[in-house]
Every structure is written in structure tokens, then in C-alpha cells.
Amino acid sequence: MESQPNRAAGGADDGPSLVHDPAPGPELLETAAGTLRMLAEPTRLHLLWQLTAGPRTVTELCAGTAAPRTVVSQHLAKLRLSGFVEARKDGRHVVYSLRDGHLVRLIRETLNHADHRLTGEPPHA
């Protein structure tokens, strides 16, 4: 049984959907687990969280995480190889940005979930 993305009332020509209802087969589950493994490192998660607010240079990302430039660069290389971020040259600077709105929402929701766990605030329905 193939799953179909949930679409707005207008139909399939409305562009990409924000919500999908995929069947969780082995390939999809492994890909999802790979995404979560990339998020499971605190420095990478912090870098990605900064990028949810918009593009950033390596210098800005280093300042935001207080991590050494070499560490930030290593994590950014992994994130580029995994397809999570893209980079573009802007003069002498490299500017990083997130490629996917799903990833932006996942990062924000992950941190919101963690905040609820730490503060004891009740979960949302």
C-alpha cells in the first residue's frame, strides 16, 4: 500500500506538502534513524538550531556555540555531507543555511520537547 502525502484542498498542484503520511518500511525507518543520529550530538544540534533563524557564517556559528572553529568546521562538514546544510561563498566568507523546512521544524520541536522535560511544563496535545 503506497502512502500519499496529505495535501491542501487544492490538490497535487499546490506544491510540496508540509505533512506526509508515509508507511514506515525498513528503508524509511533507517533514513529517519540516520537523521536522528545526526541530531544526537549537542554541538551539531546547536549549530542546526542557530541555522533555523537563517543563514550564518562560520564565525557567527562559532560565536553562538562557543566552540573552537576546528570543531565547528568538522561538524559543518558532516552536516554538508549528510545534506542537512548547504554552503555558499560570500566574498571571503562561507555562509551556511538549512535546506529543508522539515528539518527546521524537527529541530525546533526537539528543543521544545527537551524544554518541557527540563521545566516540567505539561506536554501539548
Overall number of domains in the chain: 1
> What are the pLDDT digits (tens) for 43-54?
999 999 999 999
Q: What CATH number has the domain bearing residue 49?
A: 1.10.10.10
In a domain, 13, yes or no: no
Please check whether residue 95 is in contact with residue 87, taking contact to mean a CB–CB distance below 8 angstroms.
yes
Q: Which helix (DSSP H) or strand (DSSP E) does residue 56 occupy? A: strand 56-57
pLDDT (0 to 100) of residue 114: 95
DSSP-based helix, strand, coil % in the chain, nearest 5: 55, 15, 35
In a domain, 61, yes or no: yes
Q: Is residue 20 part of a domain?
A: no
Q: Is residue 91 part of a domain?
A: yes
pTM of the model: 0.81
Residue 116 scores a pLDDT above 60: yes
For 2, the grid coordinates are 503506497
Domain with 99, as residue range(s), is 40-119
Strands 56-57 and 85-90: unpaired
Q: Specify if 72 maps to a domain.
A: yes
Cβ(59)–Cβ(93) below 8 Å: yes
On whether residue 28 sits in a domain, the answer given is no
